[in-house]
Amino acid sequence: MPHLQDTPPIVLTIAGSDSGGGAGIQADIKAISATGGYACSVITAITSQNTQGVSAIHPVPTEHVASQLDAVFSDLQVIAVKVGMLADADIIRVVAKKIRQYQPQWLVVDPVMVATSGDLLLQRSAIESLKNELIPLADLITPNLPEAAALIGANTPTNEDQMGALIEPLRALQARAVLLKGGHLDQTSDSNDLLVTNHHSELIRSQRVVTTNTHGTGCTLSAAIASYLAQGHRLHKAACLAKQYLTQALTHADELDVGRGHGPVHHFFAGYSHVR
C-alpha cells in the first residue's frame, strides 16, 4: 500500500554534486521532494559542471563518504536509497559496505557512467567493482542503453529488438530487477523503457518529448522511483509513476531558461508560477 503517514518517507541519494543544478545530487533532491519524499544526501564527488559539460571532477575522500553514510543512517530512518555517480572503485566499495551494514529496505542503483554532454563520470576501471560489489545488492538498476552495453560488454542497441537481446545478460548481473531505458533510440516517436525481473519483462511506454533540455533525466527518473518505493508502491507501479513524472518534467522543460547547452528538466512543474 502507498505511504499514508503525514510525514514524507526518507529517501537517501548517494551521488555527485552538479554545480549547474540540473543533474546529480541536486536533481535527485528536487525529484524526491517533488514526488513526495524527504531527501537526504551523501556526496561522492564534486563536479565543475554546467549545461555544456563537465570541466572537472573531484572525488570525495572515501573516509568522508563513509562518515556521511554513518551520520545519515545512524539518525534518520531511511526507507529507500538511490545511488548515482560513484566516480571510482574505492568509493563503490565503501558504499557497498555501508549498504550491507545498514540494509535499507530499497536500493535503486543508477549506473552513471557518462553525462548527457558525453563526459565520462566513472573511471572505466571501476565498472567491474560496480558489477561485483554494488549491483548484486540492488533491488533495481536503471541503465540507459550505452550504460547497459558497457556493463555487459555489448554494442549499444539501435532498435527495440536489439534492446530486448540485452535482457538475459542484464539478468546475469544479479540485481533483482532492471529498468533498461530506451531514450537513446531517438529515431522512434516513443521513449519506451523495459522493466526486467527474474521471470518477466514489460515495456513501459510513453510518447517521446521533443526538447534539448534533457540534462539530468536519468538521475531524475531513478530518484523518483526510489521516492515512490519509499511511499509503499510496488516496483512496477513506482516505475510507471516515475516515468509519468519525468515525462511531465520534460514536457515543461522548455519553460525554463537555464544555460546554453542541454538544460535541465522542470522538476517543479506542478507548483511553478512566474513571479512578476
Count: domains in the chain: 1
Stretch 153-157: mean pLDDT, rounded? 89
Residue 158 lies in a domain: yes
Q: What is the DSSP letter of 178?
A: E
pLDDT tens-place string over residues 158-186:
888 888 899 999 999 999 999 999 876 76
The model's pLDDT over 246-265, given as tens digits with 9 standing for 90+, comes to 999 999 999 999 999 999 99
Residue 273 lies in a domain: no
Question: What pLDDT, on a 0 to 100 scale, did the predictor assign at position 273?
Answer: 52
- Predicted pLDDT of residue 14: 98
In a domain, 271, yes or no: no
> Hey, which residues are catalytic here?
181, 214, 216-219
The secondary structure of residue 140, as a DSSP letter, is: E
Range of the domain at 240: 10-266
Please tell me whether residue 78 adopts helix, strand or coil conformation: strand
Q: What is the pLDDT of residue 190?
A: 77
Residue with cell 558489477: 131
The closest of 240, 249, 192 to 220, measured between CA atoms, is 249
Confirm whether 196 is domain-assigned.
yes
Mean pLDDT of the 79-95 span: 96
**What is the pTM for the complete model shown?**
0.94
Q: Is residue 2 part of a domain?
A: no
Residue 246 lies in a domain: yes
**To which H or E segment does residue 203 belong?**
strand 201-204
Domain assignment present for 276: no
CATH number for the domain harbouring residue 234: 3.40.1190.20
Specify if 121 maps to a domain.
Answer: yes
Q: What pLDDT was estimated at residue 276?
A: 35
Q: Give CA–CA dist 179/14, Å, rounded.
A: 19
Helix (H) or strand (E) run with residue 195 in it: strand 193-196
| pLDDT reported for residue 186 | 67
